[in-house]
A and B are shown apart, each in its own frame.
Chain A
């Protein structure tokens, strides 16, 4: 019984290869986009973990030399003798064929983190470390090292990109710096009563562990966006699959009825169909994973460059195939199939053996009512989530309801619009055109819903990204007001530097900061020198005009939006900036992209509160930055990295953003392409039913060429209507992302800007996609031989 059943089921696909292709391609695309984005995310996260695990990336306090870049061996020994739990690190770079590499030398016995990532897998064999120490590096770095010859390399995937870890003695030989130490890592647990640092090693300074949390948190917003995009693309793909499965099952109703009439139990039949879908999901999922890998490979270089530029994260440039990625990708393929096929399977199982045919118009009316009811339900759920929900979950819940509800409403809305056009049409041809478009609507509505989602996502995300860019540019102008930024090596050099530039610069702006807990939050307290630069350039989200005078007096503090929102403070509320000192908040400023709360007081007050903190960074206002830079380089021997000009920072930051846009644009095009593909497949599926619908119009005097042209116009008109509907939806999406999700996730709100030219371009692209999708079916139609059209009227039919 199973054999003949399977043959009957498979026969359908053999006779409808296009449907099979649509189904597999849709599912493969959905899986590909989702798993491609996931691969990028996983690769980035793995890189952050590797970076965090490589010692000295900010998890521990460190001791650095006050002058120069080397700590003497004797100082290390003195500290150890005094009870300080410190481990030596030597860092340097060596040249390889593929660019220079960072070598990190550690002492496996004394380093608080041991050998970092190399500790795992028991790879570190201490005796071996002492006799023939290997280098630990990821596969790509290992290849480069082997090119140098004479190295023992242990491939350890978790070591950060572009980095090799080894024993410090070995590193000293490799880098040709015998006895040298770059820095000392301070273990968290230190014996009580050890002598202070100044007493044993006065030439060393403490660099506290990074207060801002790990890099993973910084980049969360970026990954959140990518994930949201992947999910939307997936949804678009699932619409295609849903359409294909729905049609296939609809067309197989007769066969199902026959099989059951011939004695096949319903349960067996359902099991066979599920098995069939499982096989299809497996095949399509596999293809999708391969495609997804390719997509990720294309996206990764841009993503890596973006993350490196934005956050200084070193991302591996090559993909690794992770088992969890395979599992999640195949799982999403099966989940998608289940989502797309659930309704169809349920309908088949509920179908009575003797079914009477229903009139098409009745089905149409019922479908409209169902859509309206669904949309109403989603509206209620969305409103409920908005009223009772909280934060990010609420944002996403409302977003999901909004998008799904809008998709459900699209067909009835289009139907209403088409009816109005039909009523107003003059001329028989156009009246027929609109009526015929209405007839096509049910067959196209899933593809149009997919297009709506794709277009709305495009509008939403491009609004968000462009708003971010606009805000960011303005923010850079405000924050990077000084023409030059200089970093001194030591406080004493800083003092000399200050004396040197005072007569040469219009304004010298010392930049002071200290990590502090304020109002229950990890934050930073900054000290600045209030002057024309700040007064003229800074813009506030809230605050009065006299606030700079109050800050300069030391009677008020200003805070960034993050701190204000997290602590629930606003203008006038007191903030404890130091033990025993509370100041009222006089202003709140936007601080985009910064995960850390910030409070700012005058430099004078800062010096009172933290006398041991000396400024080593300065902003310099000058009319001739090039001359000043030259002087500074000559007199103080500062290298290029220590003097940065504002234009360079700005252009670099904006360059990073442009690369971010490259990623977004690539994803945009991909989702639109998937939606275009959905339209193409729907039109091809419909074209089989088109001939009988068009034959009468042809017999009455419309040419085939005209009919083909009308088919193209129809697709473009529907796409244009859909794009018009997607615009407000996309803007709503952008608003939710900017005003709700972003605030909940990162504590700051981005102002929303509108980009009409972008939207017009997107709309054009959408209509173009529809044109391309409709072209082939239309040409096929225009070439239908007259015999095929005449056969419609033949009685043999």
Chain B
């Protein structure tokens, strides 16, 4: 079992007291599985992803990732988790503005201490990034930036890739390209993939589909 979530609850501060976003969510995922997470805007998809990725802390519940209990970790432990075990791709602004594309690509893998230049080279070609290695993020288009972010995540070879609408800002054709690359590469590395998306067409490419409504998964 790659991921086991039980009774996960989280509320955010609202204008009139805390607002429950997740209510006792249960979820399990095997290694190599691909899951599409759908739900209305504001239903808590990002919140769930952030909790699994060790970016935020739950109010209640347990998250076992690769046998590790995220709830028991301190700030440093969660940072180590983000370096080594999970990889998160956000909808935008994934890249470090001060570093060139080449340095951005290596960054996470080097932090995790497992950079494989040959593998990264393969990713660069697979995602068509070779021409952009010397550019700064601000000089890339949105689609190019997302491809760099995906290549960076995969170069670190995480056990679980969490993608929060990675293609939300892209046109349809580019979105399909990026998703295909992502699926192929995830399959190659044997990692699990959980992806938030609004698009039924994209969700159809995934192994399983989960829907979030009123704080519960259906």
Encoded as 1 (CB less than 8 Å from any A CB) or 0, chain B from 48 to 84 comes to 0010000111000000000000000001100111111
Encoded as 1 (CB less than 8 Å from any A CB) or 0, chain B from 87 to 99 comes to 0101111111111
Q: Complex: how many Å from CA A705 to CA B111?
A: 16
Encoded as 1 (CB less than 8 Å from any B CB) or 0, chain A from 410 to 441 comes to 00000000000000000111011001101100
Are the C-beta atoms of B92 and A359 separated by less than 8 Å? no
How many Å from the CB of A434 to the closest CB on chain B?
Answer: 9
Q: Complex: how many Å from CA A797 to CA B168?
A: 14
B34 at the interface (CB under 8 A from A): no
**Using a CB-CB cutoff of 8 Å, which residues 740-797 of chain A contact chain B?**
786-787, 789-790, 792-795, 797
Residue of B nearest to A437 (CB): B98
**Contacts of A698 on B, CB cut-off 8 Å?**
79
**Contacts of B80 on A, CB cut-off 8 Å?**
701
Are the C-beta atoms of A695 and B93 separated by less than 8 Å? yes
Residue of A nearest to B42 (CB): A796
**Contacts of A699 on B, CB cut-off 8 Å?**
55, 82, 88, 90, 94
Are the C-beta atoms of A359 and B138 separated by less than 8 Å? yes
How many Å from the CB of B54 to the closest CB on chain A?
Answer: 9
Are the C-beta atoms of B112 and A701 separated by less than 8 Å? yes
**Contacts of A786 on B, CB cut-off 8 Å?**
50, 55-57
Chain A binder among B1-9, B101-109, B174-182, B204-212? B101-109
**Contacts of B55 on A, CB cut-off 8 Å?**
699, 786, 789-790
**Contacts of A323 on B, CB cut-off 8 Å?**
none
A703 at the interface (CB under 8 A from B): yes
Of the candidates B57, B91, B111, B112, the one whose C-beta lies within 8 Å of that of A793 is B91
Question: Which of A700, A703, A797 has the most B CB atoms < 10 Å from its CB?
Answer: A700
Residue of B nearest to A700 (CB): B108
Q: Complex: how many Å from CA A172 to CA B79?
A: 90
Q: Complex: how many Å from CA A428 to CA B103?
A: 8
**Contacts of A427 on B, CB cut-off 8 Å?**
110
Supposing A359-B138, A699-B82, A701-B80 touch, asked if A787 and B95 sit within 8 A by C-beta, the answer is no
Are the C-beta atoms of B56 and A361 separated by less than 8 Å? no
Q: Complex: how many Å from CA A123 to CA B130?
A: 92
How many Å from the CB of A380 to the closest CB on chain B?
Answer: 35
A572 at the interface (CB under 8 A from B): no
A77 at the interface (CB under 8 A from B): no
Of the candidates B75, B82, B88, the one whose C-beta lies within 8 Å of that of A704 is B75
**Contacts of B168 on A, CB cut-off 8 Å?**
795
Supposing A359-B139, A701-B83 touch, asked if A431 and B90 sit within 8 A by C-beta, the answer is no
A515 at the interface (CB under 8 A from B): no
**Contacts of A704 on B, CB cut-off 8 Å?**
75
**Using a CB-CB cutoff of 8 Å, which residues 371-397 of chain A contact chain B?**
none
Q: Complex: how many Å from CA A435 to CA B90?
A: 23
Encoded as 1 (CB less than 8 Å from any B CB) or 0, chain A from 681 to 706 comes to 00000000000110111111111111
Are the C-beta atoms of A703 and B106 separated by less than 8 Å? no
How many Å from the CB of A704 to the closest CB on chain B?
Answer: 7
How many Å from the CB of A530 to the closest CB on chain B?
Answer: 74
**Using a CB-CB cutoff of 8 Å, which residues 7-61 of chain B contact chain A?**
12, 46, 50, 55-57
**Contacts of B96 on A, CB cut-off 8 Å?**
432, 435-436, 693, 696-697
Are the C-beta atoms of B110 and A703 separated by less than 8 Å? no
A360 at the interface (CB under 8 A from B): yes
Supposing A439-B98, A699-B90 touch, asked if A428 and B111 sit within 8 A by C-beta, the answer is yes
Q: Complex: how many Å from CA A792 to CA B50?
A: 13
Q: Complex: how many Å from CA A266 to CA B57?
A: 52
Question: Which of A359, A692, A699 has the most B CB atoms < 10 Å from its CB?
Answer: A699
Question: Which of B80, B93, B108, B168 has the most A CB atoms < 10 Å from its CB?
Answer: B93
Are the C-beta atoms of B88 and A432 separated by less than 8 Å? no
Supposing A435-B98, A701-B82, A703-B76 touch, asked if A692 and B112 sit within 8 A by C-beta, the answer is no
**A-B contact sample (10 more), CB < 8 A, given A439-B97, A701-B108, A794-B46:** A361-B138, A435-B96, A698-B79, A700-B107, A703-B75, A786-B56, A790-B55, A793-B91, A795-B91, A795-B168
**CB-defined A-B contacts under 8 Å, sample of 23:** A359-B139, A360-B138, A361-B136, A428-B103, A428-B106, A428-B107, A428-B111, A431-B103, A432-B98, A432-B99, A432-B103, A693-B96, A698-B79, A699-B82, A700-B83, A701-B111, A786-B56, A786-B57, A790-B46, A793-B91, A795-B91, A795-B165, A795-B168
Binding site for A on B (CB under 8 A): 12, 46, 50, 55-57, 75-76, 79-84, 88, 90-99, 103, 106-108, 110-112, 136, 138-139, 164-165, 168-169
Binding site for B on A (CB under 8 A): 359-361, 427-429, 431-432, 435-436, 438-439, 692-693, 695-706, 786-787, 789-790, 792-795, 797
